Amino acid sequence: MSEFDWRSPGAYQRAIKSGEVADFAWESLRRSPNYRIAYRDARSKEGQVTSEFRRRWGVCFRA
């Protein structure tokens, strides 16, 4: 995924023109209070989440 500075108006405008769908999807999900609560509650001590969590939110985590 690309790295965008979402707080910078100029960077945001460039991102809109050249950003990838995954960038926008992740940013939207990351800001969701419901997702953040679910992630906090689903995470194991090792930082892993279940396949059920990934299916529910439509995400996969890569190292």
Q: What is the pLDDT of residues 6-48, one digit of tens each?
A: 677 887 677 777 777 777 787 888 889 999 999 999 888 888 8
Specify the pTM: 0.60
Name the residue among 20, 24, 29 with its Cα closest to residue 6: 24
Residues 6+ apart with CB under 8 A from 59: 26, 29
Give the model's confidence band at 3: pLDDT under 50 very low, under 70 low, under 90 confident, else very high: low
pLDDT at 1: 47
pLDDT at 33: 94
Give domain limits for the chain. 9-57
